[in-house]
Structure 1
Amino acid sequence: MPSQDPPYLRIADHLRRRVTAGEWAVGERLPSRARLAESYGVGPNVLQRAQEVLIGEGLLEGRTGSGTYVREPVERLAMMRSRTAGAFPASLVPDGGWESESAARTPAPDGVARRLRIEPGTLTVHTRYEFLLDGRTAQLADSWEPMDLTGDTPVLLPEYGPLHGRGVVARMASLGVRVARAVERLRPARATAEQAGLLGITAGDLVTLVERTYLDDSGRPVETADLVIPDSRWAICYELPVEVPE
Structure 2
Amino acid sequence: MARPFTDPRSAHQKIAATLRRQITRGDLRPGTQLPSTAALASEYRVAGTTVQKALQMLKKEELLEGHTGKGVFVQGGTQQPISPEAYMAPAGQGAPYRWISEAEKRSQRGSVRLLEVAVVSAPFEVRRALGLQDAGQALLRKQTLYLDDQPTELTHSYYPLELAEGTAMMERRKIKGGTPTLLAERGYPPRRFVDEVSSEIPTEEEVVALALPKDMPVLVTLRVVYSDEERPIEVSLLTKAAHRYRMRYTVTAP
In the alignment, is the contact (CA less than 8 A) between 1:83 and 1:240 conserved in 2? no
Counterparts of 2:250 and 2:209 in 1: how far apart (Å)? Answer: 28
* Bigger mean CA offset, 150-159 vs 179-188: 150-159
Following superposition, which runs of at least 4 residues in structure 1 exceed 6 angstroms of deviation?
17-20
| Uncovered stretches (5+) of structure 1, i.e. residues with no partner | 26-34, 37-50, 63-69
Please report how far the alpha carbon of residue 105 of structure 1 lies from its aligned counterpart in structure 2 after TM superposition: 2.4
**Counterpart residue number, 2:251:** 240
Q: Confirm or deny that 1:129 pairs with 2:129.
A: no
Residue from 158, 161, 179 that aligns with 2:190:
179
Q: Which of 27, 37, 40 is the aligned partner of 1:23? A: 37
Deviation at 1:178, TM superposition (A): 3.0
For residues 240 and 157 of structure 1, what CA distance do their matches in structure 2 show? Answer: 37
- Residues 1:71 and 1:104: Cα distance change in structure 2 (over 3 Å): farther
- Report the CA distance shift for 1:60/1:119 in structure 2 as closer, same or farther (over 3 A): farther
Contact kept, 8 Å, 2:117 with 2:172, in 1: the verdict is: no
Matched, 1:228 2:228: no
Task: Write out aligned runs for 1:77-116 (5 A).
Answer: 77-86=79-88, 88=99, 90-92=101-103, 94-116=108-130
Is the contact made by 2:115 and 2:144 (CA closer than 8 Å) also made in structure 1?
no
What is the distance in 1 between the residues matched to 2:38 and 2:172? 48
Q: Residue type matched to 1:110 in 2?
A: F
In 1, the alpha carbon distance for the partners of 2:160 and 2:244 equals 32
- One-letter amino acid matched to 2:131: R
Q: CA deviation at 1:235?
A: 2.1
**Structure with greater proportional helix content:** 2
**Aligned-partner Cα distance in 1 for 2:154–2:215:** 16
Q: Percent identity?
A: 17
Q: Which region of structure 1 is more displaced relative to structure 2, 5-14 or 231-240?
A: 5-14
Partners of 1:190 and 1:223 in 2: CA distance: 24
- Residue in 2 aligned with 1:142? 156
Letter of the 2:128 partner, please give it: R
Across the aligned residues of Structure 1 and Structure 2, the Cα RMSD in angstroms comes to 3.8
Change (3 A) 1:146 1:235: same
Contact 1:190–1:206 (Cα < 8 Å) also in 2 = yes
Query: How many angstroms apart in 2 are the aligned matches of 1:180 and 1:18?
Result: 41
Work out whether residues 152 and 210 of structure 2, in 8 Å CA contact, stay in contact via their aligned partners in 1. yes
Q: Which residue of 2 is the match for residue 74 of structure 1?
A: 76
Read off the aligned partner of 1:225 and give its amino acid letter.
Answer: S
Given the alignment, which residue of 177, 181, 185 partners 1:166?
177
- Could you tell me whether the CA contact under 8 Å between 1:184 and 1:213 is conserved in 2? yes
Q: 1:11 to 1:95 in 2, by over 3 A?
A: closer
CA contact (8 A) 2:110 2:148 kept: no
Query: Is 1:218 the equivalent of 2:232?
Result: no
The structure with the greater share of residues assigned to strand is 1
The separation in 1 between residues aligned to 2:81 and 2:225, in whole angstroms, is 19
Q: Contact (CA 8 Å) 2:156, 2:236: kept in 1 or not?
A: yes
Letter in 2 for 1:199: L
CA contact (8 A) 2:100 2:109 kept: no
SS of the residue aligned with 1:191?
coil
Task: Tell me which of 201, 206, 226 is aligned to 1:195.
Answer: 206
**Secondary structure, counterpart of 2:134 in structure 1:** coil
1-structure distance, mates of 2:195, 2:165: 26
Please point out which of 132, 154, 157 is paired with 1:118: 132
Residue 73 to residue 175, structure 1, CA distance change in 2 (3 Å): same
Distance 1:192 1:90, change over 3 A: farther
